[in-house]
């Protein structure tokens, strides 16, 4: 996705994700929803959408959910495995090639993702 992620775009992505998950009857329903504190993820519109999850939300540094959901423990390897391996590994591969254009950057991200074994 090349567009800048605004709160409106992020909400549309969430709506599509949730509707897709609910349509997959052979898969378990979402038990918890976790998101980071990126500005587009932390708007009133997004939190109104997330209210449907009730107290099954883990949100970083948002006082609205303190006490109703679960405060996101910082640097928790159990909750954020991507922070402890994936992002660092991907960044080393992507930026090791010094991409200079958006197309090169996108290609380097795809190569990096495909290079990580299960």
- pLDDT at residue number 67: 46
Beta bridge partners of 79: none
- pLDDT at residue number 42: 78
Smallest Cα–Cα separation from 60: which of 85, 37, 76, 94? 37
Distance of alpha carbon 24 from alpha carbon 99, whole angstroms: 38
- pLDDT at residue number 66: 41
Torsion of CA 114, 30, 81, 42, to 10 degrees: 100
- pLDDT at residue number 81: 61
pLDDT digits (tens), the chain, 118 positions:
778 889 899 889 888 887 777 677 666 665 667 777 778 887 878 877 777 666 667 666 555 544 455 555 666 656 566 666 777 888 888 999 899 999 999 999 999 989 888 7
Question: Cα dihedral sign for 37, 40, 43, 47?
Answer: negative
User: For 42, which DSSP code?
Assistant: S
- pLDDT at residue number 65: 47
Phi, psi torsion values for 104, nearest 5 degrees: -65, -40
Domains in the chain: boundaries: 1-75, 77-117
């Amino acid at each position: 996705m090349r567009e800048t992620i605004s709160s409106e775009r992020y909400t549309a992505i969430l709506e599509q994700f949730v509707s897709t998950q609910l349509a997959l009857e052979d898969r378990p329903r979402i038990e918890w929803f976790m998101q980071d504190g990126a500005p587009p993820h932390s708007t009133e519109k997004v939190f109104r959408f997330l209210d449907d999850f009730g107290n099954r939300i883990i949100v970083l540094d948002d006082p609205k959910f303190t006490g109703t959901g679960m405060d996101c423990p910082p640097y928790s390897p159990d909750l954020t495995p991507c922070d402890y391996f994936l992002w660092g590994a991907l960044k080393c591969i992507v930026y090791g090639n010094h991409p200079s254009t958006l197309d090169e950057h996108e290609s380097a991200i795809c190569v990096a993702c495909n290079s990580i074994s299960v």
